[in-house]
Every structure is written in structure tokens, then in C-alpha cells.
Amino acid sequence: MTPVKFNEKEVREINEIIAEISKVIKPKSEIGARNRATLSGLLASTKTTKKPHYFKCKREYSDAIVSFFTKEKGVTKSRFTATAQDTIFVL
């Protein structure tokens, strides 16, 4: 798999989203990408008590942002995550 190349503007946008997410992320948090409505249904069906924080992003950025937090910051990747989604969530 070839790495995705982002231009300067896209990198700036991704860094802004990463900065927002960094404010709410805790050591025991989970991160992932999923449509808001679908995630709500999944959380309700599994009776998860954690409250999600949502962050809007472009579909092209979601995989890069989730990968950054899982690889660089050591955050656990959520089992509810999917590729190319328009919303990043933190549980």
C-alpha cells in the first residue's frame, strides 16, 4: 500500500483537527472514524456507557488522523471504526 501524499493546505487542515482531538483525548480513550448515526446505533446496541466526542473531517483525512493517534500517540483504535468516514470520534 502506498502512503497518501497530502499537500500543504491539507496537512494544515489535518493538524488543526489533530489539535482539537488532542484536547479531549485521555490515556484510556479509544479513537475511530464512523458516521454519527451509525455509531449511535452501535453504541446503543452494545450498551456502551462511554460518551463519544465527535469531530468533523473530510473523508480523505479520517484514516490518516486515526492512524496518527494509534501509531504516534498509542491510543487504542476502537472496534467500531471504519475507513473513509466524515466523522472522527473519541470514546
| pLDDT tens digits, 20-47 | 999 999 989 999 999 999 999 999 999 9
Report pLDDT for 1.
52
Cβ(29)–Cβ(74) below 8 Å: no
3 vs 55, higher pLDDT: 55
Cβ(84)–Cβ(63) below 8 Å: yes
Q: What is the mean pLDDT of the chain?
A: 93
pTM: 0.90
Could you tell me the residue ranges of all domains in the chain? 26-90
Report pLDDT for 48.
87
CA distances from 64 to 12, 42, 50 (A): 13, 23, 24
Q: How far apart are the first and last CA of the chain?
A: 29
The DSSP 8-state label assigned to residue 84 in this structure reads S
